Amino acid sequence: MLHTHYEDNDKRDYYENIISTIIDIGRASNFLVQLCELIKRLAVDHLHVVGDIFDRGPRADIILDSLLDYHSVDIQWGNHDVVWMGAAAGSPICICTVLKPTPSIYKQQHTVDYIGRTDAELQIKGRHDPCIVPRAAVVQNSLTAFGLLDLLTVRYGTLAQKHGFPKV
């Protein structure tokens, strides 16, 4: 079709017949959808998703399913994605992080006592810094590092901290 040298009118009639036939058989909507998919695929050879899929609104599972149907995709997980996946896998610290971030208001709030497995109330008393949000990841990472260090100390003893951990 691209390399033939028919008259311009013949080409136009040929294309119009194709389009008319698609409309006549009731496949115009599907044809347009498939044409758009083809253009999108040709325009984007490889899709690289940069993190925080779970932080963009409800039903991240639908977004992931759509992304994984793409012909060539890779995902660089963000810190929020990792926390959500950890919570889904049952990690207590990730569950606590997902369920109740640091509150920044003095209003009494409903929460859950994870250890006691009961409903609880949370209210801030005294001075509170409402700007914890930019530092929340650093605080969480530091606490996680201390927790891991504590587990390693229990497993390998305190001399490992001084002389290095054994190769596993």
Instruction: Give residue-wise pLDDT tens across range 113-161.
Output: 888 888 988 877 765 555 555 566 777 777 777 777 777 777 777 665 5
Residue 31 token pair:
């044809």
- Would strands 118-122 and 109-113 be described as parallel, antiparallel, or unpaired? antiparallel
Could you give the 3-state DSSP secondary structure of residue 71?
Answer: coil
For residue 115, how far is the Cα from the chain centroid? 29
Amino acid present at 121: E
CA distance 20 to 60: 40
Query: Is the whole model's pTM more than 0.85, yes or no?
Result: no
Q: How confident is the model at residue 89 (pLDDT cuts 50, 70, 90)?
A: confident
Q: Where are the beta strands (DSSP E) in 56-103?
A: 73-76
Per DSSP, the three-state class of 143 is helix
Which pLDDT belongs to residue 97? 72
Between CA 92 and CA 109 the distance in angstroms is 21
The three-state (H, E, C) secondary structure of 1-57, written as one string: CCCCCCCHHHHHHHHHHHHHHHHHCCCHHHHHHHHHHHHHHHHCCCEEEECCHHHCC
Q: Does residue 25 register a pLDDT over 90?
A: yes
Smallest CA-to-CA distance from 75 within 59, 95, 54, 89 is with 54
DSSP tag of 111: E
How many CB atoms are located within 10 Å of the residue 54 CB? 22
